[in-house]
Amino acid sequence: MTTPRDSRGITRRTFLSTAAAGLSAGAALWPHPTTAQKGRVVFATWGGSWEEAMRKAWFQPFTQKTGIEVVTVSGPDYGKVRAMVKAGQTEWDIVECNPDFQWIGPREGLLERLDFKVIDRTPIVPDPKLVTEYSVPQVFWARVMVYNTKQFSKENHPRSWQDVWDLNRFPGKRALYSKTNGGSLEIALLADGVPPDKLYPLDVNRALKSLDRIKSQVIWYDTNQQITQYMVGGQFAVGIAPDGRALAAIGQSAPIAIEYNQSILTWSAFVVPKGAPNREGAMSLLAYVLTPQAQAAIAMAFPYGPVVAKAYDSIPPERAAILAGGPQQAGRYILADERWWAENLNEVTEKFTAWRIA
């Protein structure tokens, strides 16, 4: 998951000051204990300005309503979760994670079952991948096509991954993520004519053959910071990047634009480690952040899409247009099968790495 910068247009300070009032007024709409709970919830986060946005949009209003303090720790490392749980010394109550862990964690006995008597899952976007007995989604984000505006115009730029693979019509370097499940295999299959609804299970050998066609023109990036630098520097013609990073780069006057067609939609997830010190408080916090008001607040603070559709009732159309999974992007994105990745990542990584260094 990326950590994009603040949104443009409505300032974060302006929105959150009004959002806090709205959340307070709408507090009766979310399920919470009849008496205020005390204590604290320890939340493991990726940190940075993303943590700051969560604190203002989610944690502070939650504390005001329940009396439960939310304490953050940086670096939600899977290895740390394993070590704590196996040692019987769990220190964290909630962990934000990539969606693969919502299947890996239960398989290894690392997670608590969620209490859906407290957490209302009915407003969450209906898809069997998004909610498990051990996880709920946090926000949507997407890997999007980005193109160099000095090379291509709004009227004449790649609009599909088949276009991106057309080196004659759209010449120049392609920027792809070196991470195995970073979208390169999916877009290679789309470029080779695989229909979006037939993408999974991925035909890895076919994807690598497709990538062979553009391999000589690929610039690989290893981190989200690196692709941001490439975008700001205008170092490639077209590529794939996290939407938040792309929007942040555009905010820095990078010579790029986003083509939302055939975006690869994914999400981040919440899980509760086995033996969490304040399991009850964790369930209350998860119930709160999945309310429409709280989902709207975070969507206005950062360009992440709500996982609760009703949140869009409170989001201006111009803001909704850039949010992953939003109604204005319907039909333009493909939801990643993160369960398939959780089950196949190691094997596919071996093949992908061997192909890259060949």
Q: How far apart are CA 7 and CA 12, in angstroms?
A: 7
Domain co-membership, 188 together with 60: no
- Report whether 41 contacts 14 (CB < 8 A): no
Distance CA 93, CA 277 (A): 6
- Report yes or no: 293 and 25 within 8 Å, Cβ to Cβ: no
Whole-angstrom Cα distance, residue 336 to residue 222? 20
In a domain, 121, yes or no: yes
Exposed (0-12), middle (13-18) or buried (19+): which is 171, by Cβ within 10 Å? exposed
Shared domain for 109 and 17, answered yes or no, is yes
**287 and 324 housed in the same domain:** yes
| Domain identity same for 280 and 133 | yes
DSSP letters for 196-230: GGG--S--HHHHHHHHHTTGGGEEEE-SHHHHHHH
Same domain, 297 and 308: yes
| Domain range enclosing 252 | 141-265+334-357
347 shares a domain with 210: yes
Q: What is the pLDDT of residue 17?
A: 38
Task: Give yes or no: residues 30 and 176 share one domain.
Answer: no
Kindly state whether residue 4 falls inside one of the protein's structural domains.
Answer: no
CA distance 245 to 58: 22
In a domain, 231, yes or no: yes
Among 100, 88, 70, residue whose Cα is nearest residue 1: 100
**Predicted pLDDT of residue 7:** 33
Positions of the chain with pLDDT under 50 = 2-37
Locate all alpha helices (DSSP H) within 119-179, ordered by sequence. Answer: 161-164
Residue among 114, 93, 9, 98 nearest 44 (CA): 93
What count of other Cβ atoms lies within 10 Å of the Cβ of residue 349? 13
Domains identified in the chain, total number: 2
Q: Which residues share a beta bridge with 40?
A: 69
- Angle, nearest 10°, between helix axes 184-191 and 204-212? 80
175 within some domain: yes
- Tell me the C-alpha distance between 126 and 240, whole Å: 27
Structural domain contains residue 6: no
Q: Is residue 44 part of a domain?
A: yes
**5 inside domain:** no
- 192 shares its domain with 317: no
H helical segments located in 130-199: 161-164, 184-191
What's the CATH code of the domain at 187? Answer: 3.40.190.10
Q: Whole-model pTM?
A: 0.85
- How many CA atoms lie less than 13 Å away from 119 in the CB half-sphere? 29
Same domain for 136 and 19:
yes
Task: Return the pLDDT at 49.
Answer: 84
- Model pLDDT, residue 36: 40
pLDDT tens per residue, range 3-46? 433 333 333 333 333 333 343 334 434 444 433 446 999 999 99
pLDDT reported for residue 209: 98
Q: Are residues 70 and 94 in the same domain?
A: yes
- Does the residue 103 lie in any domain? yes
pLDDT reported for residue 148:
98
Query: Do 248 and 344 sit in the same domain of this protein?
Result: yes
How much is the mean pLDDT over the chain? 90
Same-domain check for residues 227 and 348: yes
